[in-house]
Structure 1
Amino acid sequence: MPQIIQNIVLHLNDHMSPEVFASLFDALLSGLEDYTIDERGDVGSWIRMACVRGLTSVSEILISNARTIIRFDDYLTPSKYHLAVIGILKQGVERLDNVRQDAGECILRLLRLPLPDVKDAERWQLPSCGLLVELFAPGTESVSWSDGHWLFPRAVRLLEIEEYRQPVLKGLVISLGSKTDSIHRPVSTSLSAYARSLPASGPTDAYDLVTFANDLIKYAQANLSSNNIIIPILQTFSVLLEAGALEKLSSDDSGIRSLGSLHLMASRHVDRLKSVQRIHESMKTVVNLLAFDAMFERCITSLPSFLAHRFPTIRSDAAEFLYLKIQSMDLNRDTEEVEELLLETEWWVTNNQFRAITDVQTS
């Protein structure tokens, strides 16, 4: 597509209508959401990289030749251009090194691109362009979007910009769910540090911890049937809870309601879930919420859903995780009897044997 546009750009109005151009541009935008994986491998990543490059090149071509294009703003509307930049930024913070590097190089190209030579050109100005330049075009400093330790401490600051916030947060969640330590660790550290820096609540035009938590919860609630989304979100909450990054929520009524929504999401219909990993991450979230006095009783009532689960591996993992957390948490309660029960119960036995054991223990 970029080659076609390059060949006809000086006579674009004669060869392509704004409607046809918009449909082609929309196709590139939709390609940013392709996460297909099949027997050939991660096909979606190839498509996303091609679309990142395509959107960048097409934008460069049109903006550089805007003066010669009649009705330029019908071809490349400011809103479509901003959608492209936002989509590329999201790819720039996701888990694959090569995708991030491609996206980062394209963002640098767009940051260096002059505004179109048309009336009201500032409409194509990137939101908070100065901050983007400060973060990602720092002069002589070596820039590598594939290096998580360089990128993610900068990337989390994009959450300060409302226009970029939701897509970037989604990209960070995907990266945090990565099994690769070189990605998981810098994302976890950076996101936790950023969350700790936020006030519990604040002015409506400023980002705060309650809004941050609610953004994650809303993203999860909109995708409850997708384990590919829910599991990384639960992992994100576990990381934040274990790092103490959400402690300020307990001092705010809205924050406590957010914790309640998180607990409900993690504990509801556990017996209906089929994904062991999702159940495991839900269990970790519920156990980590025990640290909040306002959530303690609710979490206690939810724990049997995991400790008495029909899957022995869930029972065993829940008992082990709960025991370790009780050891490290300051619950201000006598937990000796609970610890003894967690250690002595045979969590790995068959379901019939487990029911017999629990019947004896409760009689």
Structure 2
Amino acid sequence: MLLLWLSMTCLIPFDLSRLDGHLTSDPSQTREPIMDRILAIAKSYLVVSDKSRDAASVLVSKFVTRPDVKLKRLGDFLDWSLTTISQASDQTMGGTVILDGALQSLAQLFKHGKRDDFLQYGKNQLLGGLKDKETIVRWSAAKGIGRMTGRLPKELADEVVGSVLDCFSFQETDNAWHGGCLALAELGRRGLLVPSRLPDGRMVYDEKRGACSVGSNVRDAACYVCWAFARAYEPTELKPFVTQIACALVITAVFDRNINCCRAASGTFPYGIDIVVAADYFAVGNLNNCYLAISVYIASFPEYTRPMIDHLVAMKINHWDGVIRQLATKALHNLTPQAPDYMATTVMPQLLPIALGIDLHSRHGAILASAEISHALYKLANQNNRTVTELISSDCVDGLKSIHQRVSSLLACYALSFSHYPPPVCLSLSLSLSFSLSHYPRLSLSLSLSLSLSLSLSLSLSLSLSLSLSLSPLSLLSLSLSLSLSLSLSLSLSLSLSLILSGLQQSCSQREVCFTEARRDAAKAMGSSDSVVCEGNVSAVYRALLDCMTDYTLDSRGDVGAWVREAAMTSLMEMTLCVVGTAPQLLSPDLVNGMMCRLAQQSAEKIDRYRAHAGSVFVRLLHSNNPAVPHIPHREELLLLAIFPTEGAESLNWNAPSQAFPHITQLLRLPQYHTLLGLTVSVGGLTESTVRFSSQSLFDHLMLIQQDTAALGQFSDALLRVFRDNLRNDRVSIPFLKMLDQMLARFCVVLLSLCKEEIKKSKYTRKLRSAIAVFCGLIQFQGEVRKKFTPSLLHGLIRKTTASQVYEMLLTYDDVIDPDVMDDVMTSLSDTNWSEDVATVRTHRNQLCDWLGVQKPQLVAKGPVQ
């Protein structure tokens, strides 16, 4: 009872040092300060076994939490409590009592102690974290803001919401916008924010930074905000905002440049089962499909038509990415039938001032959009037996004429300034400016230009000169855009046909990344129905098309060379069927053999679409009977027809790896078909289904020929030839190394030398790791191979991966090293920190060399710099 009274007495609201009087000033006094005396009494009763212990813990909690005592004695008391707890034994009764008293005092202390008010500090830290450069920090800060706001009164919570909304200022970075979206989503999930307070513009946030843009993470997070609101609020509360949210999500799902944002918006879309099916996860993965097909379907719903058109006009035709601008203008063309009056009366007047503005991207997009919409309106008017001028206002017509006159004047000045153009350019300029001259007779420059262009076209000298020159990138592009036109003039330009074909062949052979479309169109043109093939040029045309099938150009869009390969395969099929029907004697065995071998290789590669196209072309040429294609290797012996029978050719699904590869691997028995090169890329690829079925089919084939020495030798020779021909070609060598990790053939020493040559001085991590896996697989072969490759396992680069692979290899092949040192080697490989500095791990490396019985690698001294 006295202890409880003392705990109440300790609540007096003045400093306890006043009770000490003149204690500190009188040196003759030895009495302890009252603060220490009370604390000593409390400590003495914390270790007793009766109810006084509970009262003492209450006394400590009330006394130590006083402001004056907390500053002077709290730390000492906590030290005493922790020391007592650590030294007391819970195995004895006395120790248990002491532990109980110390723990009770701490529990009461934390219960009654007043916590400092860190709310303002914590709020500022969390709001600052929303703008951090690291995504994980922004995400954690958003979570913290959501939890903190949920525990605040309404007034303080509204203040936090206002601070979060301040992140959506165009003075802030994209990190702040992203963090703000995450915070809004967390607030919305907890029902702490009404939709009316949401700012607009987050789903279209896109800022250009140098050669790229930022904001995709902001748009993705904005979709997350909409998803959070849909889950947290009742439909009646969201009903006034559903149309606005749905329009924003549809626009993002169809027109966003980033595929991940398209998919996020598609998954968040709140309602409309028809739209959800049309714009599902996979459908929105193709931008062309989104802009040109899905958008048209969604625009058929009236509530989305105008918002989609307005978004294209306001945000996409002036986009910094030229591909997006072109897709947007084509989308406007396709959307015009959905709202022709709106396009003619509202959109066209908006575009004309933009076409005359100062921003280059905006001018380009506005001109293209005006052209596409005008063309679409013309087609609509033509269907209704009207003229396009009846749909477009007179002001818009005058504006379009003004643009036309200015462009015509520009072309006229160009024609007078430069002496030679490629014939397709000359013809295009002539047709365009002849039309301008007939409508605008005051254009005197256009008259002189038309005359000069007509003269240049009438003279074959101009054609000869332009095509004999080495093609520049600009002429390649213009050739690409005018191929069908130039080939349609083959009759009038028959004297220069060889020059035209020469130009097309040159365009196919140019491998500039930025002109892949030109090579594709050139390949299409050489196989078009207007092409003229004879004995003098058939070999050159086929060689050019076969060369196109080796185009594996890569850029930011991926394997764009596949466009060229697909066009070349189509042209080869159409040209071959045409030649066979009219003059089969033009096809030599070499041409047909090269064509069928390239098609077989393409039908074994990893991309489903192009593998299917190659397989379809291969089977169609094989089964062609009206008349049959001559000189196809192994068809007369019925070997090919046994692999691809006529009755099953139509049902074979080349897109499915499970159906295609079992047939393809059978071509390995026919040495003339280079199927192994295509299989290498598939077996060592990244797509799980392709890798699984291609590798399984390959191993099944090897099991069938394992007793056939000649077949194994033929396969080994082909394997080495593929590797030797593709050294330093990462497209083939990396998949080849992965394939060798599972498949080791006879010539191990040669394989090892080629692998070491492939990774020599290489710093490409993926390649080195793939080579390490091959080296570890070769450990099972004794003799010269094992001695040569073991030092390679101790290479200084990527040591951690190497050590792990060697450890697994030693577990698999226990006869590689002396059993007496096996435990030491395994311990060193597993326990050594191979990520430490080189000087430290070199000691462990040298010790491993001694245990393994191989020569230690020596440092090569660098010579003086000359």
TM-score normalised according to structure 1 size: 0.79
Of the three residues 708, 711, 726, the one matched with 1:207 is 711
Q: Aligned-pair distance for 1:134?
A: 2.9
**Does residue 19 of structure 1 match 2:512?**
no
Task: Report the aligned-residue RMSD.
Answer: 2.9
| Distance in 1, Cα, partners of 2:838 & 2:654 | 49
| Distance in 1, Cα, partners of 2:803 & 2:601 | 38
Of the three residues 660, 663, 672, the one matched with 1:154 is 663
Q: Aligned-pair distance for 1:358?
A: 4.4
Aligned residue identity for 1:235: K
Within-5 A mapping of 1:47-196: 47-66=564-583, 72-73=584-585, 75-114=586-625, 116=627, 124-128=631-635, 130-137=638-645, 139-140=647-648, 142-164=651-673, 167-196=674-703
Q: Aligned-pair distance for 1:6?
A: 7.0
| Distance in 1, Cα, partners of 2:848 & 2:613 | 59
CA contact (8 A) 2:723 2:733 kept: yes
> Unaligned stretches of 5+ in structure 1?
10-14, 67-71, 247-254
Tell me, what secondary structure is at the counterpart of 1:85? helix
CA contact (8 A) 1:92 1:104 kept: yes
**Does residue 352 of structure 1 match 2:352?**
no
Tell me, what secondary structure is at the counterpart of 1:35? coil
Higher relative contact order (CA 8 A, sep 6+): 1
The CA deviation string for residues 90-114 of structure 1, in whole angstroms up to 9 with x for no partner, is 1100010000111111122112212
Aligned residue identity for 2:548: G
Question: Residue 283 of structure 1 aligns with which residue?
Answer: 772
CA contact (8 A) 2:825 2:848 kept: no
| Distance in 1, Cα, partners of 2:559 & 2:759 | 31
| Distance in 2, Cα, partners of 1:240 & 1:362 | 28
Between 1:330-339 and 1:259-268, the stretch displaced more is: 330-339
Residues 7 and 91 of structure 1: is their aligned pair in 2 closer, same or farther, counting only changes over 3 Å?
closer
CA contact (8 A) 1:286 1:299 kept: no
The CA deviation string for residues 293-333 of structure 1, in whole angstroms up to 9 with x for no partner, is 345xx425533333241x2xx21111111211222335375
CA contact (8 A) 2:527 2:574 kept: no
**Does residue 326 of structure 1 match 2:798?**
no
Residues 353 and 269 of structure 1: is their aligned pair in 2 closer, same or farther, counting only changes over 3 Å?
farther
Residues 16 and 228 of structure 1: is their aligned pair in 2 closer, same or farther, counting only changes over 3 Å?
closer
Q: Aligned-pair distance for 1:58?
A: 0.9
CA contact (8 A) 1:234 1:281 kept: yes
Of the three residues 723, 740, 756, the one matched with 1:237 is 740
> Unaligned stretches of 5+ in structure 2?
1-522, 851-866
Structure with higher Rg: it is 2
CA contact (8 A) 2:828 2:844 kept: no
Of the three residues 32, 45, 52, the one matched with 2:562 is 45
Question: Residue 342 of structure 1 aligns with which residue?
Answer: 829
Between 1:28-37 and 1:284-293, the stretch displaced more is: 284-293
Question: Residue 221 of structure 1 aligns with which residue?
Answer: 724
Tell me, what secondary structure is at the counterpart of 1:163? coil
Q: Aligned-pair distance for 1:46?
A: 0.8
CA contact (8 A) 2:524 2:567 kept: no
Tell me, what secondary structure is at the counterpart of 2:558? coil
**Does residue 34 of structure 1 match 2:542?**
no
Q: Aligned-pair distance for 1:212?
A: 1.7
| Distance in 2, Cα, partners of 1:191 & 1:16 | 40
The CA deviation string for residues 144-194 of structure 1, in whole angstroms up to 9 with x for no partner, is 112111111221110111211xx2111111111210011111111111221
| Distance in 2, Cα, partners of 1:344 & 1:5 | 64
Residues 338 and 361 of structure 1: is their aligned pair in 2 closer, same or farther, counting only changes over 3 Å?
closer
TM-score normalised according to structure 2 size: 0.35
CA contact (8 A) 2:612 2:654 kept: yes
User: How many pairs are equivalent?
Assistant: 323
Residues 89 and 194 of structure 1: is their aligned pair in 2 closer, same or farther, counting only changes over 3 Å?
same
Tell me, what secondary structure is at the counterpart of 1:18? coil
The CA deviation string for residues 69-101 of structure 1, in whole angstroms up to 9 with x for no partner, is xxx42x322321221111111110001000011
| Distance in 2, Cα, partners of 1:301 & 1:181 | 33
| Distance in 2, Cα, partners of 1:27 & 1:110 | 19
Aligned residue identity for 2:624: L
Aligned residue identity for 1:132: L
Within-5 A mapping of 1:239-278: 239-241=742-744, 246=745, 255=746, 258-268=747-757, 272-278=761-767
